[in-house]
Structure 1
Amino acid sequence: MTIEEILRLRDQVWDEHPLIIERAVLPTLAAKDVLARVWALGRKGRGSIAFFAQPLSGKSSCAELLFVEMKRKKPGCGVLIFEVVEDTNPAEGRLLSEILNQIDYAPKIARDLAGKRTQVHRALLSLSGEARHLFLIFDEAQELSCDEFAWLKSVINRLVRDRVKVTVVLFGQIELKEKRQQLKAARSDLEKRFMSTLNEFRGIQNAAELEPLLAAIDAGSEFPVGSGMSYLQLLLPRFYEGGGRLVSSSALFWRELKQQRLPGVGTVVAMSSVAGFLASFFIHLRGADSEELKITSELLQKIDVI
């Protein structure tokens, strides 16, 4: 495509671009570590790993990245991101119904417990796909009660008996550490099953950790799907054509971003802050794209985060 054709396409899809609407799923160093750990765990017939994080450090974005990457690395597998909501009076039937709701189960949900168990099993069996491998990702996992962990164990055991690989990934706030202790005290088998491995997931802490994200914008992303163009190539085509790349300015980006650190957690920058700054960066430069464009401290200081 010519530059003029790219610019016309850019104008058509601007309001839908993942970076502009702050919904881009991009890798950080911490997210790439999670991907590697989960992929290695997927070798087993049944496995579980847990991560706790400070608020806004990007765990939900990491869950979305896992969804995309596991689908890409293992075609035919099933991936479910289950958003846990606190239930002050947990019941197995409600948990099973919520699982069915979150996978958009079309048939009418059974009213009796046995019927719901069968429906959940069949639905997850179908979701596991041709690969017979299911990745279950729980966001806000600290909200799961001990009883709910026990019910999930039964669901997983039944799938494993039907020769489905099940890989469980728990993402939670820092309270997940306390939940692990509660499980250990109440049901040590559940602690060993779901949280024998508990790791800390951190947001971006320095320029080196920002580099994978910027490199993905430069060359490891695509929008629109099937266009063959990276995010940068579409949004700043002249800058891209002239050899400009964001990753070469990671130190300059970090100098601005580190001013937005999360309070009380050292140098960690919230992923929402990163997303907001990048969106504002491209909006600011929409009419200033050129092959001579240079990313400087002065330029980045002019970015007014919307």
Structure 2
Amino acid sequence: MAGASSLYAGTAPAAAPQEGSVISLHVENDMFVGDDDNYTSGVRIGWMSGTTAESRTFSGMLGTVLGGTNASDSWRRFMGMNGSSNLRQQWGLDLTQLMFTPERKLREPIYGEHPYVGNLTLGLISLVKNEDRANVLELQLGTTGSPSLAKGSQHLVHKMWGMEQWPGWNNQLPSEMTANLFFKRYYRLRGLERHYGSGLETDALAYWHADAGTVKVQAGGGMTFRFGYNLGNTSPENSIRGATSAAPPFVYNRTSVSNWGYYGYLHASARAVAHDLYLDGTVFHSSPDYVNKYPVVAEWGYGFGVTYKRTEFLFGLHYITKEYTRQESLQCVGVLQLRHTF
């Protein structure tokens, strides 16, 4: 196995600066657009370590499977991480709660509508990246049912905002331990990068993902395009319903032209779904067949972001096509993200 020394021997020190650790708060909620059903809430608190090129670190050990500095030359090449002296790796943790409800507020089970589901997970993330590619692997362990705290969380939020309560949480999917692996590979699309002077620019990324476990068995891909001023090392593609990290997905070998930055973004993706616990029911416990899901789901969205020094705020609207046959219409979810790099 070749270590970091074989990768960097005889080369100049990496020109790109190391990045600090990152904390983030990510909220997805249909209440932002006046709705309150199906996928109704997602909250994630995340932390990522600072970047390192060292192999004898926790980031280096976790990053081995993703082509990090501790991997062999052949495996690094297979994972698309060869040919760059700016190879970086990070690791992180996140706590995520997802919540789903039917379209009508009834106490008894509603067949043909989304079941009540809560899922609370703890995730361990590994990120390996260079200037043009990134690999992200996340293991999420969690629970459905009452231990997910979804019923209490929704009750508290609705009480604070004076909203009507959902009475059917006693019919939520049963309590069950969940485990899922989420993998995502990013590509920086340099052909769409343009610099127009005075800090105005565009950039884009594409990705594909494959997920397997008791929660999701699916695969898909997508693309995000940004346009604005002083884009810097940020990314709005950061859905909490799959592999994600609080840290940006690429190494940027340049400095910002200003403390301030702003951008608009467009995003589109699609995925083929073989298993979805939130619609199909739990794996190891018997649960009713509430709905028939569609095998392909698409998503698109738009929004804006603002950065100041090392802090970024983002808000967007994302539209999700129907996920099951009797769903009334596609769904719109508001996305809010706050991220700070130390």
TM-score, with length taken from structure 1: 0.22
- Whichever structure has more strand as a proportion of its residues is 2
Tell me which of the two structures has the higher relative contact order, counting C-alpha pairs closer than 8 angstroms and 6 or more residues apart: 1
Compare CA radii of gyration and give the structure with the larger one: 1
- Whichever structure has more helix as a proportion of its residues is 1
TM-score, with length taken from structure 2: 0.21
